């Protein structure tokens, strides 16, 4: 990473990820979903499957690519010290509608096991705040995800 930054500031941007690299966005979004799945200290297979499904739906990638991104995101989430490093990437590259789509996917993961834990709800609220989504957008995302999960 330090070498990539040195290259960027020296004018040699070769090897530095593109600002709108879709894989980086997918990893950041998926890492947030992994953080949510882990908040109750248990990674549920249903939640992991929902994360892959959300990546396929929102990023328009194959199941194999989504599974690889999930593995990458799990590794990044393991090393993460805060949610900010992921939300910062999403804020820099997405508009409000794109960030709302990510939050809706996060809600889908929360609903995947059939219940919303108080820690999950708190974490989704924190993520919404870090994505600069207001309370109305937060609730709209929740309602859309809940409706999609009940269909």
With bands split at pLDDT 50, 70 and 90, how would you rate the model's confidence at 117? confident
**Quick one: how far is CA 2 from the chain centroid?**
24
Token pair for 90: 């999403």
pLDDT single digits (tens) 72-84: 888 877 777 789 9
Taking the C-alpha atoms of residue 46 and residue 112, their distance in angstroms, rounded to an integer, is 6
Instruction: Tell me the domain boundaries of the chain.
Output: 22-150
Angle, CA 69 vertex, CA 78 and CA 39 arms, to 5°: 40
Q: Regarding the domain delimited by 22-150, which CATH topology (the fold level of the hierarchy) does it fall under?
A: TerB-like (1.10.3680)
Residues above pLDDT 90, as percent of the chain: 55
The residue-averaged pLDDT of 50-79 equals 86
More confident residue, 132 or 61: 132
| Candidate from 58-67, 74-83, 90-99 with smallest mean pLDDT | 74-83
Quickly tell me which residue has 């820099």 as its tokens: 92
Contact (Cβ atoms closer than 8 angstroms) between residue 89 and residue 65: no
């Amino acid at each position: 990473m330090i070498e990539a930054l040195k290259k960027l500031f020296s004018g040699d941007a070769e090897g530095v990820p593109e600002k709108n690299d879709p894989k980086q966005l997918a990893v950041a979004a998926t890492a947030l979903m992994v953080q949510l799945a882990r908040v109750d200290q248990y990674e549920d297979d249903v939640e992991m499957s929902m994360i892959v499904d959300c990546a396929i739906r929102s990023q328009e990638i194959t199941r194999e690519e989504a599974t690889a991104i999930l593995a990458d995101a799990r590794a990044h989430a393991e090393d993460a010290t805060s949610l900010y490093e992921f939300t910062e990437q999403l804020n820099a590259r997405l508009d409000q509608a794109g960030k709302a789509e990510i939050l809706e996917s996060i809600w889908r993961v929360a609903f995947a096991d059939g219940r919303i834990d108080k820690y999950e709800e708190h974490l989704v609220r924190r993520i919404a705040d870090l994505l600069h989504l207001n309370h109305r957008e937060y609730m709209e995302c929740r309602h859309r995800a809940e409706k999609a999960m009940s269909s």
